[in-house]
Structure 1
Amino acid sequence: MYKKSRGSVRYFLNDSSFKRKLQYREESFFIYSFFLGESYLFIDSIFQKCEYACTRISKKFIQIERFGRERFKIEESKHVGSAVLYGLISIFILLITSSIIFSLLLRFTSLQESSLQYIITAVSFVTLFSGGFISGGKGKQKGWFLGGLTGLIYSIIVFLFTYLGLDQLFTSEQFIYHICYTLICMMGGILGVNLSKGT
């Protein structure tokens, strides 16, 4: 029985139709494996290209974002500078105008400088408040910063004029006055921002 079964197996293996089927299956399996490998390589290349494109796009977005931030910072600094410049110009225009008026009063009237001391101080505070108000209104944000910066720059200009022109330093009284000027400018800047937002 063993020999018979063994012979039948040999016959089955030597059969030409079986060989053709087996060869066809081998070829089919080879073709299937080939196309499967090629499709895998194709899909892998697509994924690599997509990953490369996404990386380039993300880098471009990062560069655009950085450029936008830098441009925003430049525009913001220009905005702050122009607002402070407007405030300083208005302060010096008001100071020059009030100085001319007071000098004319002292020249053509019997008023003395000592009698106008408190009025001059009040006019100075109003002038600094107006400068801070204008700088805050132009800036429309961070009124305390714009007003304080306007008052600080004004104090620095006066100090340089006093030191370089008259060879004198601030006295303690003048120092206190200029601290108050800066605080008044800050208050004017805050009010200017609030009113500009309200309108």
Structure 2
Amino acid sequence: MKMKYDESDNTLVRASRAVTDKMTDLLGGLFSKTEMSEVLTEILKIDPAFDKDSFLRQCEHDIIPNVLEAMIQGELATYSQLAHPIQQAKAMGLQFHSKILDIDSIDLAMGKMMEQGPVLIITFQAQMVMVIRNTKGAVVEGNPDKVQRMMYVWALCRDQEELNPYAAWRLLDLSASSTEQIL
């Protein structure tokens, strides 16, 4: 029957086929698997209670503040990708005196399956005062009176071995850009 429909020369059938083909093209993308849906499905296999909105709240109230705080205070263990520059700064006697003022505009931008496991890409903004001082207390970088607006993109991977969903996210990579906040 389908073959007769596809090969028919009848004007009415051809017109109906054109409409159904167009609708399939338009709506087909709505129901096809996306990379994000594959990533979320993989996360749900590991953590059946996973919820996207709860994850973003966890990012806002737990993951982002803790990791950012560790980064701006120069704590090496929390974020090892920054270990080399932080070690160099500490070897020169520099001290980190930065503060996080606000975190907002958190969004789940995309998902990607990688060899490490399911990865979620989040974007957010943070307002910070960034200051690095030498051993005498003089500012060598930043300004204690200027607020910086930082735009971040983070790649977070779900550790498939970790059963506790609150401890299961690892920061794989990040990108940041800043502008001076005009008050």
Larger radius of gyration: 1
Q: Which has the higher strand share?
A: 2
What TM-score, normalized to structure 1?
A: 0.29
What TM-score, normalized to structure 2?
A: 0.31
Instruction: Tell which has more relative contact order, 1 or 2 (C-alpha 8 A, sep 6+).
Output: 1
